[in-house]
Amino acid sequence: MIERRQIELEYLAGKKLAIDAYNWLYQFVSTIRQADGTPLQNSSGDVTSHLSGLFYRTTRLMKLGIKPVYVFDGKPPAFKYVLAARAEKKQEARAKWREALEEGDLESARKAAQGTSRLTYEMKEQSKELLTLLGVPVIQAPSEGEAQCSHLCKTDKVFATASQDADALLFGTKRLVRYLNMTGKRKVPRKNIYMDIKPEIITLKELLEASNLTQDQLIIVGMVIGTDFNPGIHGYGPKKALKLVHQEKTLEAVLKKVEWVGPPPETVFNFFKTPPVKDFNIEFGNVQKEKILKMLVDKYEFSSERIEKALVDVTKKQNAGLGRFMK
């Protein structure tokens, strides 16, 4: 159903991308861990996994001339289905992690620990501080970050939304870039083989035309399959959901054919149609090298050599004027 095409990172040079910050930060705290599954920490016990992932990923994009704009979640709607499901999974993962550690099974412990990840208020504020020092815009969404990213794309403030979650398409983003934070070789789960992962772009207009759907109908298809705000209809995958919406056309007609579970369907539908968002002016700043070194090297004990090299590379790219990065 989804029309997608792979792209090289260089294709995005000179373009502004609205990045779903929580989507990325959760990946960093989940995957950047020590052998026993504990996150990276400095000698004071401060978690640094999020800062490590954020710094190196962001500077890599900046070196390519890509203009990242990070959007942070605000208050989620009370009916957000996925929150309760995530909390339950985290409890199960913590139990498996402790059990694996007691048995001395470090590989299983590390895998289980990835499911225990959480973002604290302090970690979010540290991330915003680091991005600001890098001269990267930080936007605080009133509610869902993906909705705000999509609004920025719909109003042509950015080229695309960067997120793993396809819900951004239901919010109406013109373009969705996936796997931007997962490029390179990745191990296939439970198999001793690796595969190349490249970013891919999905254009909403092409998706709607190829699927013979309106934007409202795409939202209904997503709701039938399942979103962050409802669990979906049992037994319905993408193909079956698409066939149902093609036949029934409207939400009212679809609801007569399925057994709905979750929040009121009209509430979910209307949230995708008109989510809480704001208009923002996007401005880039200058890289504040000394303050970054003080934060990452002096306070959080990162390698001075690695941080300085990354900053030199970014400065060279900016001075070269590729796409007049800071404008």
Q: Which helix (H) or strand (E) holds 160?
A: strand 160-162
Q: Cβ distance 58 to 314 under 8 Å?
A: no
Cβ neighbours of residue 156 closer than 8 Å, sequence gap 6 or more: none
For the cut 70, the answer to whether the pLDDT of residue 215 exceeds it is yes
For the cut 70, the answer to whether the pLDDT of residue 225 exceeds it is yes
Residue 70 φ/ψ region, left for φ over 0, alpha for ψ in the -120 to 50 degree band, beta for the rest: beta
78-92, 117-131, 242-256: which has the highest mean pLDDT? 242-256
For the cut 90, the answer to whether the pLDDT of residue 116 exceeds it is no
Give the Cα separation of 149 and 139 in Å (integer): 9
For the cut 80, the answer to whether the pLDDT of residue 2 exceeds it is no
* Percent of the residues in the chain that have a pLDDT greater than 90, as a whole number: 68
Residue 265: how many other CB atoms lie within 10 Å: 19
Residue 214 CA, distance from chain mean position: 25
| Per-residue pLDDT, 117 | 59
Residue 31's nearest CA partner among 96, 115, 145 is 115
Residue 310's nearest CA partner among 28, 44, 56 is 56
User: For residue range 67-81, what is the model confidence (pLDDT) as tens digits?
Assistant: 999 999 999 998 886
Give the Cα separation of 164 and 183 in Å (integer): 12
Give the Cα separation of 321 and 286 in Å (integer): 13
For the cut 60, the answer to whether the pLDDT of residue 149 exceeds it is yes
| Per-residue pLDDT, 85 | 54
Give the Cα separation of 284 and 99 in Å (integer): 47
Higher pLDDT, 320 or 96: 320
**Token pair of 239 as six digits:** 């193909």
Radius of gyration of the chain (CA): 21
Give the Cα separation of 322 and 243 in Å (integer): 46
Cβ neighbours of residue 178 closer than 8 Å, sequence gap 6 or more: 4, 162, 163, 164, 166, 199, 200, 201, 202
Q: Which helix (H) or strand (E) holds 56?
A: helix 49-63
The answer to whether the Cα torsion of 316, 320, 323, 327 is positive or negative is positive
* Percent of the residues in the chain that have a pLDDT greater than 70, as a whole number: 80
Where does the pLDDT of residue 100 fall: very low under 50, low under 70, confident under 90, or very high at 90 and above? very low
User: For residue range 13-72, what is the model confidence (pLDDT) as tens digits?
Assistant: 999 999 999 989 988 988 887 777 778 899 999 999 999 999 999 999 999 999 999 999
Q: What is the set of domains in the chain, with CATH numbers?
A: 1-211 (3.40.50.1010), 212-274 (1.10.150.20)
